[in-house]
Amino acid sequence: MDAGIFDPAELALLGRVFEQLKLAHPSADAQDRLASRIITNYMAGIVDEPELISLSRQPLGR
């Protein structure tokens, strides 16, 4: 990843994670928050798909 630009393989990974988790987040706002969590976790270095799924199920710490 270079300066917030994702390559096709990264986008595919992020998309798969989102697809697996989005049904638990039916509203558009909840899906926006989910997408933000996934991207935040990925950018923090979580690149293993099962780990990214697991961590992205949890709300971001505030």
pLDDT digits (tens, 9 = 90+) for 9-45: 999 999 999 999 999 888 999 999 999 999 999 999 9
Q: What is the pLDDT of residue 61?
A: 59
Q: What is the pLDDT of residue 11?
A: 97
Question: Would the pLDDT of 2 be above 90?
Answer: no
Structure tokens at 56: 């992205």
Give the Cα separation of 47 and 52 in Å (integer).
Answer: 7
CB 21, CB 56: distance < 8 Å: yes
